[in-house]
Amino acid sequence: MNHTTKIITLAAATLAAACLAPAQQAPRTAAQQYKNIQVLKDAPATEFIQSMRFLSTALGVECEFCHQGTRSVDTPNKIKARQMMTMMAKINADNFGGAQVVTCNTCHNGNHVPMNAPKPTGQYSTDGPQVFYKPTAPPVGATDDVMYEAYKEHTEAEAKARAAATPTVDQILAKYVTALGGETAIRKVTSRVVTATVEAAPNVRGAGPMVFTQQVQYSKAPSVMATAIQGFGGAATSRGFDGNETWTQAANGNVAPVTGVDGARAKRDADFYRALNMKQEYTRLTLTGSDKVGSRDVWVVNGAVTGDNPDTLYFDKESGLLLRKGSYNTTPLGKYVINTDYEDYRDVAGVKLPFLIRTLSVSPADTLIVRVEKVESNATIDAAKLAKPAPRQPAAR
């Protein structure tokens, strides 16, 4: 893939990494699109490549592990993979009501030959038998009954402590707004111009050095956003939402609407006061537990969205800031997860903004690193920068 096509892909990918078909017409199937599909015949063609990326990462292999020459030629590993797809569908049908519970990743977890024996570590759990110890002494007489009582006490005490320390979703959202600078400061800013350098994989395989582009994002309250991307030595592309319509302009000058889930995601991205409007954006917000993002402890909140898969939001327990947003696309083999991490928050005109935004998924095709260089708050933005552009003639060569 050359730079120009990459930049078009990049524009589409940053708008929304999904490629789900619009719900209206029956989507083209994988069997219609490709030459030799025997198992995933009825899967939407738009989900097929993501399912290939999914299984490659699940097995920890490159595409060539199964594909030699053209992708439609059968190889021993490809045939094995087909059998595995059928086995997986049967396991789910027989045991989980057909839900996508067991996937390639459940067994393989990054190995092409799954480990069928646990690694010897010398203890059953990472907790080890210390969980039975009261603050000072080990349980007296380690019979099963005594151990069981100690274990019950330990787990009950833990559950209690956890419950006492658990905030409500409202508290998490309020802490987030405060961490950003508070609602008053946030509402004082009504427009913003953000200049950033964007680093992306040079092609869908991630082969070769990263490609750099410059991105200028113009946004205005309540909900207008336009992003212009200039490839260094390549053509310009842009995308946006003018409050009414979503659009994207390709390097060849063509302007097209962004439809379906992609369009809906682009509109959500354009909400200038998104941090204040979480309860409007999500139909339901549920605290699902604790986790870590890097070394930070986070609260994990699931946000349901009408007409799209839910987002998973990770809020720093200590600072209150949003450190990660996870979304996923549906594929016939499992969830294709895309995480966006927000790092290096800095104060600009009283509002904290992430200066490093990293998108990481199962394939290098989705890798994107945005490094913010300059932020202008309350700048007057030329209306032409925000408007849907007219198609432009391709530059003469």
Size of the site for ligand HEC (CB under 6 A): 37
The single residue among 34, 151, 212, 273 that binds ligand HEC, judged by CB under 6 A, is 34
Per-residue binder mask for ligand HEC (CB under 6 A), 329-358, x = binder: ----x-------------------------
The reply on whether position 104 binds ligand HEC by CB under 6 A is yes
**CB of residue 27 to ligand HEC, shortest distance in Å:** 16
Sequence letter at residue 196: A
Contacts for 148 with CB less than 8 Å, ≥ 6 apart: none
Per CB under 6 A, 214 contacts ligand HEC: no
Quick one: angle between helices 3-15 and 260-270, nearest 10?
70
Of the candidates 65, 78, 296, the one whose C-alpha atom is nearest the C-alpha of residue 179 is 296
Q: Does 219 bind ligand HEC (CB under 6 A)?
A: no
Q: Which of 8, 12, 107, 264 binds ligand HEC (CB under 6 A)?
A: 107
Question: Smallest distance, Å, CB 113 to ligand HEC?
Answer: 5
- Smallest separation (angstroms) from ligand HEC to the CB of 219: 34
In the region spanning residues 39 to 68, those forming contacts with ligand HEC, defined by CB under 6 A, are 39-40, 49, 52-53, 55-56, 59, 61, 63, 65-67
Question: CB within 8 A of 226, min separation 6: which ones?
Answer: 217, 218, 219, 238, 239, 240, 241, 242, 385, 386, 387
Query: Which parts of 114-173 interact with ligand HEC (CB under 6 A)?
Result: 114
Looking at beta carbons only, is 102 or 349 nearer to ligand HEC? 102
319: left (phi over 0), alpha (psi -120 to 50) or beta: alpha
Is residue 36 within the footprint of ligand HEC (CB under 6 A)? yes
Q: Output 62 or 297, the one with its CB closest to ligand HEC.
A: 62
Q: Name, in order, each residue with C-beta under 8 angstroms of 51's C-beta and a sequence gap of 6 or more.
A: 40, 43, 331, 332, 333, 334, 336
Closest by CA position to 201, among listed 362, 364, 371: 364
Q: Is 109 in the site for ligand HEC (CB under 6 A)?
A: no
Residue 385 backbone class (left: φ over 0; alpha: ψ -120 to 50; beta: rest) = alpha
Residues 6+ apart with CB under 8 A from 150: 131, 132, 133, 134, 139
Question: Whose Cβ is closer to ligand HEC: residue 102's or residue 210's?
Answer: 102
User: Residues of 134-154 as b/e, b for ≥16 C-beta within 10 angstroms?
Assistant: eeeeebeeeeeeeeeebeeeb
Q: What mask, x for binding ligand HEC by CB under 6 A, covers residues 70 to 99?
A: -xx----xx-xxx-xx--x-----------
The contact set with ligand HEC (CB under 6 A) reads 34-40, 49, 52-53, 55-56, 59, 61, 63, 65-67, 71-72, 77-78, 80-82, 84-85, 88, 102, 104, 106-108, 112-114, 333
